[in-house]
Amino acid sequence: MKMETHKVAKLHAILWGIFSLGGMIAAFLLPVMIYMTAIAYPFGLWPFSRENPACPSCLTLVRDPSLLVTGHLLGALFVFVTIAGSLFHGIFRFQSALTEVGLLKYRRALEAVGYFIIFVGIIVLAYYLIAWYLNGTIT
């Protein structure tokens, strides 16, 4: 009798897991980030202002959205998870869309380009966040 052999796509399963987690993260956290950086920051609604202990009635306005990450590990993590998750989800989904429109035969090439963009994007993002977190500035 012929033995059945099946090759479980383990790596693809893991990448899909990250993709779906990325989608959930994007759905929950991206609106929060957009609110903070595109609405709260320009309109001065969210603590980009600090209290001056010497003068409790004075507020020092610090107009710099990098305050979100500077010196705050949780802030840096929040930005990293939100952007990296959304990036991964977006590129993976884009590849699916290309497959749907019939570019299946270019899949290997598309996958290579997709993962290249994801990983370069994530490395650049990590570099900027670490620089911000440690120095408060980017050199």
Partner 1 sequence: MSQEIATIRVTRYRPEKDSQPFFQEYKVPYRHDMVVLDALNYIKAELDGSLTYRWSCRMGVCGSCGANIDGEPKLTCASFLHEFKDRTITVEPMSHFPVIKDLVVDMEDFMEKLVKIKPWIIRKKDSLVEEGEYRQSSKELDRYQQFSSCINCMLCYAACPIYGLNEKFLGPAATALAYRYIEDSRDQGKDIRFPIVHEIEGVWECTLVGECSVVCPKGVDPMLAIQRTKILGATNAIKSILMPRGGR
CA 97 from chain centre, in angstroms, equals: 21
Question: What part of residues 18-37 is at the interface with partner 1 (CB under 8 A)?
Answer: 20
Write the interaction track for partner 1 spanning residues 45-74; mark x where CB under 8 A is met and - where it is not: ------------------------------
Decide: is 1 part of the binding site for partner 1 (CB under 8 A): no
Among 14, 24, 109, 130, binds partner 1 (CB under 8 A): 14
- Write phi, then psi, for 52 (nearest 5 degrees): -95, 115
Q: Measure the CA–CA gap between 107 and 55, rounded to whole angstroms.
A: 62
Distance of alpha carbon 115 from alpha carbon 121, whole angstroms: 10
**31 C-beta neighbours (distance < 10 Å), count:** 11
Q: 23 or 65: whose CB is closer to partner 1?
A: 23
Name the segment binding partner 1 (CB under 8 A); options: 16-24, 43-51, 56-64, 109-117.
16-24
Cα dihedral 25→27→29→33 (10° resolution): 130
Instruction: Select from 7-15, 26-34, 70-78, 108-116 the region that touches partner 1 (CB under 8 A).
Output: 7-15
